[in-house]
DNA sequence: GGTCTACTTGACCGCTTGGTCAAGTACGGT
DNA sequence: ACCGTACTTGACCAAGCGGTCAAGTAGACC
């Protein structure tokens, strides 16, 4: 849309984004109508189309800002750390904290991947996340910290474990971010058979 | 619906299921209308409602039969094997072969998880899969093959790695099921740091 | 007080949707 | 040849959809 907004307008836009995020996440994108959104906020329909070009535009906006914010948080968390595995751990921990605060986004991204009109955007975002991770894995392989292999596949596996434990442990079971992050790292670092699998899933080596 | 079908009817029903699966997977559930389905098959709309109570009913049928079939294939693959880790490996390999033949189902299950009306069904199916896996992990922990920990979390992680590598390597990249299964097992067994991570991702210990 | 622009209203529109049904057709059994 | 039932047709429907817009309101700045 790219419209100049006054502070008041900015706030309305924020209300729409927040409410739509919640409705889309709990009811689904398609079953949630624009009418439902404006009624829920007690405003006229024109308000919606003042701030967004279309329902699809709104959804893309939610997706884009979410992905951007997560990446920002991860980069910030890694800070000045130079060791690749340590960087990865920091990013994973930060991600878990982030998901707790943005739980609705999980299901929205999952949905977006299943629809032809949104999938390309999601894939682009995931490509970035994969590349970020792949680079760290490759570095760790080069320095001999972890065994050689296909860095891309390994990175994908790490993302998979993070993703599924975020969904099932963090979001569904409501377990603390800290604990879940411990478990992600524990499993990714040592697997099932490998060395020190801490009983509480909390001890790591690196 | 539970209607008695002649062989001819059975075939029509199969056509509808197959075509709908393909359309839903590539175009999305909501954007694909019943009209599009019957037009695509060149039949009248009444045909659809002769075989299915509703569009939702059709979708649930696709989901249910898919999940049932995958589980059947896994159980068959494990056969008489008794070692828990070996059973797990057999199930993972069988799953990969299965996904190649039923690639459309992946995205359908993902979508179903995001919609209030379908999510409970999916969760039930996933609970079964998790319990199957958890039991194997627990057995392996009890026998000392793998280190102690929360079997449920570890099982979930294994499912996560299988799932994401199935999606990205097998379905998106089109790599052979055999190779992808190797990589799942390699990562799950040893993680990043743990012992023998084969260069080709193909050597395992157990 | 006037004016300009950011914002808001809600009736309205064209269109599509999932679903129905009275009427017909194909076909196996006798 | 005829009957019964499994199947097929497609016009039809109410409801809901995303989106528009002419008209109005509010508040910041002069």
Q: Which protein residues, judged by their CB atom, are less than 7 Å from any atom of strand C? A: A 3-6, 8-10, 12, 42-47, 49-50; B 6, 8, 30, 32-36, 45-46, 49, 54-56
Whether the Cβ atoms of residue B192 and residue A188 lie closer than 8 Å to each other: yes
- Protein CA B6 to sugar C1' C29 (Å): 14
Residues contacting residue A177 through CB under 8 Å, at least 6 positions apart? A93, A96, A97, A99, A100, A170
Find the CB nearest B28 among A115, A145, A148: A115
Nearest-nucleotide field for B47 (CA, C1'): D8
Find the CB nearest A149 among B157, B165, B199: B199
Closest chain B residue by Cα to residue A152: B169
Asked if A120 reaches chain B (Cβ–Cβ under 8 Å), the answer is no
Residues contacting residue B84 through CB under 8 Å, at least 6 positions apart? B136, B137, B139, B140, B143, B145
Which residues of chain B make contact with A116, given a CB cutoff of 8 A? Answer: 26-28, 31
For B76, other C-beta atoms within 10 Å of its C-beta total: 11
How confident is chain B (206 residues) per 10-residue block, as mean pLDDT?
A: 81 97 97 98 97 97 97 97 96 98 98 96 96 96 92 96 98 98 94 55 38
Q: What is the largest CA-CA distance in chain A?
A: 61
Asked if B196 reaches chain A (Cβ–Cβ under 8 Å), the answer is yes
Which residues of chain A make contact with B149, given a CB cutoff of 8 A? Answer: 186, 197-199, 201
Which residues of chain A make contact with B151, given a CB cutoff of 8 A? Answer: none
| Rounded alpha-carbon distances, angstroms, from residue B16 to A120, B7, B38 | 28, 14, 8
* Integer Cα distance of B95 and B114 in angstroms: 23
Residue from B156, B105, B189, B168 nearest A167 by CA: B156
The CA distance from B130 to the nearest CA of chain A, in Å, is 11
Whether the Cβ atoms of residue A96 and residue A77 lie closer than 8 Å to each other: no
* Integer Cα distance of B126 and B120 in angstroms: 10
Asked if A33 reaches chain B (Cβ–Cβ under 8 Å), the answer is no
pLDDT (0 to 100) of residue A39: 97
Whether the Cβ atoms of residue B162 and residue B171 lie closer than 8 Å to each other: no
Q: Tell me: the pLDDT tens digits for B112-168?
A: 999 999 999 999 999 999 999 999 999 999 999 998 999 999 999 999 999 999 999
Interface test with chain A among B194, B195, B206, by most A beta carbons within 10 Å: B194
pLDDT (0 to 100) of residue B191: 82
pLDDT (0 to 100) of residue A191: 82
**Segment 86-115 of chain B within 8 Å of chain A by CB:** 107-108, 110-111, 113-115
Give the helix ranges, DSSP H, for A79-118: 84-101, 103-112
Per-residue pLDDT of chain A (206 residues; tens, 9 = 90+): 667 788 889 999 999 999 999 999 999 999 999 999 999 999 999 999 999 999 999 999 999 999 999 999 999 999 999 999 999 999 999 999 999 999 999 999 999 999 999 999 999 999 999 999 999 999 999 999 998 999 999 999 999 999 999 999 999 999 999 999 999 999 999 887 765 444 433 333 43
Asked if B150 reaches chain A (Cβ–Cβ under 8 Å), the answer is yes
Whether the Cβ atoms of residue A63 and residue A118 lie closer than 8 Å to each other: yes
Q: Residues B43, B45, B47, CA angle at the centre, nearest 5°?
A: 70
Asked if A26 reaches chain B (Cβ–Cβ under 8 Å), the answer is yes
Residue from B57, B64, B58, B50 nearest B18 by CA: B58
Which residues of chain A make contact with B164, given a CB cutoff of 8 A? Answer: 156-157, 159-160, 163-164
Residue from A181, A168, A186, A89 nearest A133 by CA: A89
- Protein CA A54 to sugar C1' D9 (Å): 38
| Cα four-point dihedral sign B151, B153, B154, B160 | positive
């Amino acid at each position: 849309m790219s419209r100049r907004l006054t502070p008041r307008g900015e706030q309305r836009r924020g209300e729409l984004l927040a409410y739509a995020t919640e409705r889309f996440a709990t009811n689904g994108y398609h079953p949630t109508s624009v009418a439902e959104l404006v009624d829920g906020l007690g405003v006229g329909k024109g308000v919606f189309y003042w701030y967004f070009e279309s329902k699809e535009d709104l959804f893309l906006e939610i997706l884009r800002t979410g992905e951007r914010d997560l990446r920002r948080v991860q980069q910030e968390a890694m800070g000045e750390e130079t060791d690749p595995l340590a960087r990865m751990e920091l990013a994973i921990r930060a991600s878990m904290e982030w998901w707790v605060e943005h739980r609705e986004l999980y299901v929205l991204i999952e949905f977006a991947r299943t629809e032809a009109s949104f999938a390309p955007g999601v894939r682009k975002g995931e490509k970035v996340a994969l590349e970020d991770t792949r680079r760290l894995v490759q570095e760790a392989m080069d320095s001999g910290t972890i065994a050689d292999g296909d860095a891309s596949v390994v990175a994908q596996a790490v993302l998979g474990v993070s993703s599924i434990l975020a969904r099932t442990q963090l979001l569904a079971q409501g377990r603390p971010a800290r604990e879940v992050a411990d478990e992600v790292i524990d499993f990714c670092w040592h697997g099932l058979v490998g060395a020190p699998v801490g009983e509480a899933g909390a001890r790591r080596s690196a």
